[in-house]
Amino acid sequence: MSEDRLPKFSLLNDAGDTISNPDLRGTYSFIYFAPDIDSEGPREALSDLNGILGKAEDLRARLVCVCQEDPQTLSQLREELSLGLDLVSDPEGEIAAAEDVKLEGRDFYRQCLLVDPWGSVRTVCMIPETEDFADNALMIIEEAVYSDQSLNPAIVSRRAYRAFEEEKIDRESITLILEAGHLAPSCMNKQPWRFIVIDKPEDLKRVHEHLSDGNYWMKRAPVLIAAHATKGDDCTLNDRRNYYLFGTGMAVGFMMVQATRIGMILHPVAGYDPIGLKKLLDIPEEAVLITVMALGYPGDPDTLGEKHKRIELSERTRNPLEQVVRWFSE
């Protein structure tokens, strides 16, 4: 996100106070670039925006109008239009430079940015003049606030589903998922994870022979991925902190989120014969075959046995958060 940050600026508001980046922190800032406040359009836009000031404040957002005019002119404008929103003078286009916003000239769009409370530019928008400008602005703010306050949708919708479509998966999609795993963090960037992708029907059949009976459902998956790692390939610190399993687990976690995002299931299992499978897949003796994952598109739950079908269609269960979290101080 670092390249999306607002550039450094130091400007004056209509009261003559200096406004710079830290002043925008802690709240969302919806920034409207008014091209020429003497003309009707921008004045209308300002009055419209001013009308949603209360609603924006409820969302922890401030409304900022950036103009080229000097602070004094802006102060007159505040009085004339009874404005409560922030007015910032940006004669050189310091903020506008952020996203190539044109401060001069008029077209039929209102150019705006939404900056989040942490200083990143979240949305660059061109709102048509003909539409309800303020309602659109509010919607853009609401969307960002909502997405920041909710869990990542791919994490929420991921499940260890078992019903697979048998349809083949192209290697580009498989690679995308592997790339997500390979972006996981690891102790001193050791990257202990190793993956073996099995996607040819004749190879899959040979792997199937090593799955536990309860994992019969994996035989429909068009791709299986084995994840292995070796203790010596990652940090081994005092107090038995051997990080290879942890690092590989994180990579697998990232892969599951990425797979879910593109509508696939990635289901890791522990139920297989590790010795036979290591031999078949030519995994070094000293390595641990941590998991085998089934990858594919969701299929028909009727392909599952009764117990698994019931789980497939049921709500997810988790212990209460309080059972696993303790706040050190109340």
Ligand X SMILES: Cc1cc2nc3c(=O)[nH]c(=O)nc-3n(C[C@H](O)[C@H](O)[C@H](O)COP(=O)(O)O)c2cc1C
145-184 per-residue burial string, b: 16 or more CB within 10 A, e: under 16:
beeeeeeeeeeeebeebbbbbeeebeeebbebbbebbeeb
67 forms beta bridges with: 89
Q: At what angle do helices 40-51 and 133-149 cross, to 10 degrees?
A: 50
The binder of ligand X chosen from 63, 269, 295, 304 (CB under 6 A):
269
Nearer to ligand X, 85 or 295 (CB): 295
Tell me which residues in 109-168 interact with ligand X (CB under 6 A). 159-160, 162
By CB under 6 A, how many residues form the interface with ligand X? 10
User: Closest approach of Cβ 199 to ligand X, in Å?
Assistant: 20
What is the rounded CA–CA span in Å between residue 229 and residue 274? 13
User: Closest approach of Cβ 181 to ligand X, in Å?
Assistant: 14
The binder of ligand X chosen from 201, 271, 276, 305 (CB under 6 A):
271
Question: x/- site string to ligand X, residues 204 to 223, per CB under 6 A?
Answer: -----------x--------
Nearer to ligand X, 90 or 312 (CB): 312
Tell me which residues in 13-52 interact with ligand X (CB under 6 A). none
What is the rounded CA–CA span in Å between residue 208 and residue 222? 12
Segment lying near ligand X (by CB under 6 A), choices 14-22, 142-150, 238-246, 262-270: 262-270
User: Closest approach of Cβ 311 to ligand X, in Å?
Assistant: 8
Nearer to ligand X, 159 or 261 (CB): 159
The total of other beta-carbon atoms located within 10 Å of residue 209's CB is 11
User: Closest approach of Cβ 299 to ligand X, in Å?
Assistant: 15
Nearer to ligand X, 43 or 261 (CB): 261
Tell me which residues in 285-324 interact with ligand X (CB under 6 A). 291, 316
What is the rounded CA–CA span in Å between residue 97 and residue 100? 5
The binder of ligand X chosen from 156, 270, 275, 313 (CB under 6 A):
270
User: Is residue 186 at the binding interface for ligand X, with CB under 6 A as the rule?
Assistant: no
Residues near 205 by beta carbon (within 8 Å), at least 6 away in sequence: none
Nearer to ligand X, 110 or 162 (CB): 162
Check: CB of residue 177 under 8 Å from CB of residue 268. no
User: Measured in Å, how far apart are the chain's first and last C-alpha atoms?
Assistant: 33
Interacting residues with ligand X (CB under 6 A): 159-160, 162, 215, 268-271, 291, 316
